[in-house]
Structure 1
Amino acid sequence: MNQMFAPKPKLRTLWFVSLQQVHKTQSHRRDSLSRSTIEVLKSVRNNVEKNEGQQGEKNMEELQTQGSHSSPQGCGRVGCRTRPVSRVCRCIKHCVKGKVVITQNQGQSGPGKSASVQLYSSTKVDPSTGEGKLSRRAYLRHGKSKKKDSVKTTVYKMKLWVEADFGTPGALLIANRHKHKFFLESVTVEIPNQHIHFDCSSWVYPVDKTKSERLFFSNTSYLPDQTPPALVELRKSELVSLRGDGTGERKEWDRIYDYDFYNDLGHPDKGWQHARPILGGSRWHPYPCRGRTGRPSSNADPLAESRGESMKLDIYVPSDEQFSPAKLSAFLSNSIEATVHFLASEAKALLRDDSSDFRSFDDLRELFSGKRSQAVEEKVAEKLKKLVPYDLFKEVTNRSKEDTTKFPLPQIIAENDIAWMDDMEFARQMLAGINPTRIQCLQILICAFPRLHTHAVVEPFIIASRRQLSVMHPIHRLLHPHFKDTMHINALARNLLINAGGILEQTLFTGEISMELSSELYKEWRFNEQALPADLLKR
């Protein structure tokens, strides 16, 4: 008889309530239970397992009417004193389902069960912490992946158990115990009659590096004085962690926003000809602040920040500001494509004595053909290796071996080889200007004006906004699309474009004083002249 009533491992609380009432209040009559009572118990168990919730409670009340008595012992769980007949037990758990969208670079394994999620309530406060109630940990499972270009997107399912009075989720903790970082696109949680969305769009690094789990807030916006009490402490602690203490060298996985001057453009340790003045912090060379990286000072100039021996693409940028895998893939792809074009075309000019001009129109057309010379490309590759980061150089050499990339043939030459020599066409081009060699649909809106008046002056506002405005603040959500990717672009520019000996100095006639001239222009920049109509009047 005892074996017949032994509870199964996954029976719901309501089954335990009924069974314990029978065992405790009718233990002296256990051997004389009628067959009808046994059948009722079996029916209740099946209904609870099948329907869960209200249907199970209704059947339980019918069972209690047939002969069981209420007990002050509750459901039997530790700390539960709820009378089972009077109201539903507070220990009952509700299942919250959701999905997690993660993107990764090709070749990296997904986090799977190495990543876990917990939810914070936005309506119920945990008295012991002063923060919202925290759910149990749920691990990602049943991931379905799809690939596009070199980016893999995986959608995971999750199932969390929360108390009946947990309330509405308002924040989540995600722990990455995988060996690789991953880009968390979004998390969606399903509760009765509502879907709560978390737009994350950030890299999540392994816990063994960050020493803490990542916190994300839902898409609901709150002013500071309107923040739910359960989220107030979380909001404050998140802002404090983003400010840092202004010391130490920043690591790749850090999320700290701090200010610094443009003291990393030169490389004085390589010689005086590679030294550049510090921009910002003085009236002689005013300039907007940049994000602090905290690298050690150079030996030749203690005020200048040291640089590595070779250019790299992994300069420090807070994880929220880094390119997404799709954006990074597009950036590398475009860079590789342009560099392969360089290998296929400019290489021939480097081997000629009269490289300042082309010999014939046939030479000009060869720029748009797929013909290549291995000897020429090897010589150019040696020179290219000194100019671009190693990671980019490796991708370029691999890509150049796989296929033959060529410039798209200009429309005017495609239709008629000598059409551009016509006087009318020549005059039209002189008046209209040179047509673009390639037109592509706009996919991501970024600043298209000169760097100083867009990227450089915006970076201090990005840092200030991240330090002072929570991601829940309505103004932060309005500014975020305009700030997207700007800090990463600026960091790459300092490493490759505007640094000593960089692309800017090699292509502009102003050479090494280009950034000093930019500083002179910044002296005339005024914040109150950037909006309409003052901006148009100044132009």
Structure 2
Amino acid sequence: MTSLETDIIDNGKKLIKGTVVLRQKNLNVVGDAVPPSILDTSSVALKLISASKHDGSGKGKIGKQTFLEGKNSPFDVEFEWDRHSMGNPGAFYIENFLQHEFFLVSLTLEDDLHHETINFVCNSWIYNTEKYTTDRIFFANKAYLPSETPAPLVYYRQEELESLRGDGTGERKEWERIYDYDVYNDLGQPDKNDSLARPTLGGSNTLPYPRRGRTGRKPTLKDPEAESRSKFVYIPRDESLNPLKASHSVIKTLNLVSQNDTPRLRALVTLENDEQPEFNTFEDVLLLFNGEPPNDFPIPKVIQASYTAWMSDEEFSREMIAGVNPNVIKKLSEFPPKSKVDSQLYGDNTTTITKEHLEPYMDGINIEQVIQSNRLYILDHHDAIFPYLRKLNETGAKAYASRTILFLQDDGTLKPLAIELSKPHPQGDSFGPVSNVYFPASEGVEASIWLLAKAYVLVNDANYHQLVSHWLNTHATVEPFIIATNRHLSVVHPIHKLLLPHYRNTMNINANARNILINADGIVESTFLLGGYSMQLSADAYKDWNFTEQGLPNDLIKRGVAVEDPASPHGIRLLIEDYPYASDGLEIWAAIKLWVEEYVNFYYKSDAAIVQDIELQAFWKEVVEVGHGDLKSATWWFKMQTRTELIKACTILIWIASALHAAVNFGQYPYGGYIVSRPTKTRRFIPEKGSFEYDELANDYQKTYLRTITPKNDTLQNMATMEALSNHVSDEQYLGHRIEGNLWTSDSEPVEAYKKFGRKLIEIEEKLVQRNNDESLRNRYGPVKMPYTLLHPSSEEGMTFRGIPNSISI
């Protein structure tokens, strides 16, 4: 950094010197030269604003305009500023007179005379000044509760928030920074084709949903309630990725994948159409990996040690607690399990699995004893899937709702006891489902039937994972918090500073998801079983969403897989002791909670300070009543009256954005890249004895299996998508690190507490490595020899099957 000083120059003017760091659009090196036109001394202007002297109206005094000096970033800048009359700088205005935008990183003022450095961390796009209705302002990195804001800065703090809220009208433009809400009414394209119309999600009791960012695009011609679509989807400008090339490439890749337009997909899809439209053997699928282009997909981790270990019952069960969807399995506390499906619409959906089905496989223990000893579990994809089956099975899919009953063995592993597959009654829904129960088998056609039964379970799990565990419970539910934070918590608010790294790029990836992943006929609808009903399933699940249950301890307790126990680490005792996701997650959860406690208690000295914080109260009120407004009547919402409530809310939010998303995202390709082991569609029912398909299964189970699951072209597109989503980009920010380094706040105690948090995460990672080396913990690596590392905090670039980014950035 250039040495800066305050001095008195010959003409008697007092100067304060500084440096400005900025980047040109799309350049990724801090020192890159900016366009020649910026060398014009009148291209970029700045004015300091006082935090301690007002102008007579109560607003901080504004200094004289000055301009950047130099040819490359960082640029020098000199301000005419008399401390005696102007006080201490606390903010600054910046104006861009160039025709193109640039990315403003920071302004640093250093007063050697007073031994003081003032840091302004900006990280914001600056467009031509004529684009803005109010001047662009940035504040020094000191955090203030609203009541503690220096009086000369109060007006500027409030004005900036008002400019970010906008007035709720008009179509948003690329350069704008306005945060506002809208429903999900932009997924369909009714003007293009009636079959591409999709219902609005949000704003109703039948299809409730979290709100997304408002774009203000025009309504469609056929449906005035639907928003028209465009390639450009507005997000507030600073929600776009910072100008590093690596991050943008992921979005570009997904766009190409959605059109089968990557070089690899173009070649493979052409081959499929011309030569082999289907896979015939598992070996055909394996030929896609690690060969010459285009057959150069990376080999998924699940088959790196063995091509067949995924077929074992132990691995099938293990992935329910250490796979990509590890937070759905529940303990059975009563038998038979009850269904919540509306019996008036869908008849009696009580399970057909009986005690007599299960007890022969339970090591001589009866059902009551097994339940009492916490050893009976269920992966239940019946109620979520069943209401959609009749529609799905009329469209070419052939699907079942499923219940899988599992037994916790003495060695700590789970084994499946039975799978129930249910489909609608041919005479009508009111007759209830037609169900069959399947049991483990290892020989003959029965083994092939059992493998197929597991495939239907895996398809349901893959769909529920993508639409609920992943998209809804992380991406969609976090976005309203981002919007409300920017509308009501000033950038100098301590809670804004706490949450900011956990919002990075989320609105951007969500907007792109609405355009290419979850839209009508997008990648998810095209390659997953639920097809055009995908997002409706997600909305159904949102009816039961509860923010307070998204934190890991409450989630585990709700699912019955853990109980409160003050004597256990973290106050939670796992009933499945070797539960990799839960045991690793509790370590991360506890570290986040401790960090948040220290931070909140530094700024809020009492519960009264929570109640009196007008920005915090406005933020929380809007999250509940608008952002998640369809659930505003729920009684479980925090009232936000105490420090404890604020600590819980922030811990849950940080957990969702970081560790939870990492757990359900970065294992997608490592577990699902081999479509045979985790299919996303089924196209045939289980063959009945005596049928041609049954004989085919007996003679060639691989061919029948492959004709039943995801077809080849969908497989290729799905693999390419999962590969892109499972990679860490080079500029990723991981838990325990901030893009601003130590300059995110000038308060030393929070900075030190955050460093301690980072050191704790390093300790945790070392502990998790040791766990994976413990061969007595069989669920940590399983038959596929795939140690559970998804919650290891650190990672390098690429597909590493580890690493917890701060935010939902992909």
Flag whether TM exceeds 0.5 (same fold).
Answer: yes
Q: 1:411: how far off?
A: 8.4
- Cα distance per residue 1:319-355 (max 9 Å; x no partner): 2211111264343465489733323444422322x32
| Percent of paired sites with the same residue | 42
Distance 2:309 2:511 in 1: 46
Name the counterpart of 2:237.
319
Is the CA contact (8 Å cut-off) linking 1:182 and 1:203 kept in structure 2? yes
1:167 to 87, 92, 100: 87
Alignment of 1:29-68 (within 5 A): 53=8
Distance 2:253 2:314 in 1: 27
Name the counterpart of 2:719.
none
Name the counterpart of 2:474.
454
- Cα distance per residue 1:117-166 (max 9 Å; x no partner): 22111111122x5322222223223244xxxxxxxxx4222222212423
Distance 1:282 1:173 in 2: 43
Is the CA contact (8 Å cut-off) linking 1:99 and 1:189 kept in structure 2? no
SS at match of 1:94: strand
Alignment of 1:341-380 (within 5 A): 341-352=264-275, 354-357=276-279, 365=287, 368-371=290-293
Is the CA contact (8 Å cut-off) linking 2:179 and 2:486 kept in structure 1? yes
Amino acid at match of 2:61: K
SS at match of 1:325: coil
Structure 2 gaps of 5+ residues are 1-5, 28-32, 324-467, 560-810
Does the C-alpha gap of structure 1 residues 333 and 285 become closer, same or farther in structure 2, counting only changes over 3 Å? closer
Distance 1:503 1:332 in 2: 13
Alignment of 1:514-529 (within 5 A): 514-529=534-549
Q: 1:534: how far off?
A: 2.1
2:76 is equivalent to residue 157 of structure 1: yes
Name the counterpart of 2:135.
213
2:483 to 463, 471, 494: 463
2:494 is equivalent to residue 477 of structure 1: no
Amino acid at match of 2:226: A
Distance 2:274 2:107 in 1: 55
Does the C-alpha gap of structure 1 residues 226 and 366 become closer, same or farther in structure 2, counting only changes over 3 Å? closer
- Cα distance per residue 1:233-260 (max 9 Å; x no partner): 1011111111111111111111111111
Does the C-alpha gap of structure 1 residues 268 and 411 become closer, same or farther in structure 2, counting only changes over 3 Å? closer
Q: 1:356: how far off?
A: 1.2
Q: 1:531: how far off?
A: 3.2
2:14 is equivalent to residue 93 of structure 1: yes
- Cα distance per residue 1:249-290 (max 9 Å; x no partner): 111111111111111111111232111111111101100111
Name the counterpart of 2:263.
340
Amino acid at match of 1:182: F
Is the CA contact (8 Å cut-off) linking 1:118 and 1:173 kept in structure 2? yes
TM-score normalised by length of structure 1: 0.65
Name the counterpart of 1:109.
35
Q: 1:530: how far off?
A: 2.6
Larger Rg: 1 or 2?
1
Distance 1:98 1:289 in 2: 40
State which drifts further: 205-214 or 238-247: 205-214
Alignment of 1:383-402 (within 5 A): none
Distance 1:453 1:366 in 2: 32
SS at match of 1:142: coil
Alignment of 1:489-528 (within 5 A): 489-528=509-548
Amino acid at match of 1:490: N
Alignment of 1:214-293 (within 5 A): 214-293=136-215
Is the CA contact (8 Å cut-off) linking 2:48 and 2:93 kept in structure 1? yes
Q: 1:228: how far off?
A: 0.6
SS at match of 2:239: coil
Is the CA contact (8 Å cut-off) linking 2:201 and 2:208 kept in structure 1? yes
Structure 1 gaps of 5+ residues are 1-50, 57-74, 76-90, 145-153, 373-404, 437-447
2:301 is equivalent to residue 301 of structure 1: no
State which drifts further: 326-335 or 519-528: 326-335
Name the counterpart of 1:28.
none
Is the CA contact (8 Å cut-off) linking 1:199 and 1:219 kept in structure 2? yes
Does the C-alpha gap of structure 1 residues 186 and 217 become closer, same or farther in structure 2, counting only changes over 3 Å? same
Is the CA contact (8 Å cut-off) linking 2:7 and 2:16 kept in structure 1? no
Is the CA contact (8 Å cut-off) linking 1:173 and 1:215 kept in structure 2? yes
Does the C-alpha gap of structure 1 residues 468 and 355 become closer, same or farther in structure 2, counting only changes over 3 Å? same
Distance 2:544 2:126 in 1: 41
Is the CA contact (8 Å cut-off) linking 1:94 and 1:164 kept in structure 2? no
TM-score normalised by length of structure 2: 0.44
Is the CA contact (8 Å cut-off) linking 1:344 and 1:367 kept in structure 2? no
Does the C-alpha gap of structure 1 residues 108 and 211 become closer, same or farther in structure 2, counting only changes over 3 Å? farther
Distance 2:13 2:252 in 1: 53
Does the C-alpha gap of structure 1 residues 465 and 105 become closer, same or farther in structure 2, counting only changes over 3 Å? same
Is the CA contact (8 Å cut-off) linking 2:289 and 2:298 kept in structure 1? no
Is the CA contact (8 Å cut-off) linking 2:288 and 2:296 kept in structure 1? no
Amino acid at match of 1:264: D
Does the C-alpha gap of structure 1 residues 331 and 206 become closer, same or farther in structure 2, counting only changes over 3 Å? farther
SS at match of 2:25: strand
2:64 is equivalent to residue 136 of structure 1: yes
Does the C-alpha gap of structure 1 residues 108 and 518 become closer, same or farther in structure 2, counting only changes over 3 Å? farther
Is the CA contact (8 Å cut-off) linking 2:174 and 2:235 kept in structure 1? yes
SS at match of 1:175: strand
Q: 1:207: how far off?
A: 1.4
Is the CA contact (8 Å cut-off) linking 2:26 and 2:243 kept in structure 1? yes
1:538 to 527, 549, 558: 558
2:254 is equivalent to residue 331 of structure 1: no
Q: 1:109: how far off?
A: 2.6
SS at match of 2:470: coil
Larger relative contact order (C-alpha < 8 A, sep ≥ 6)? 2
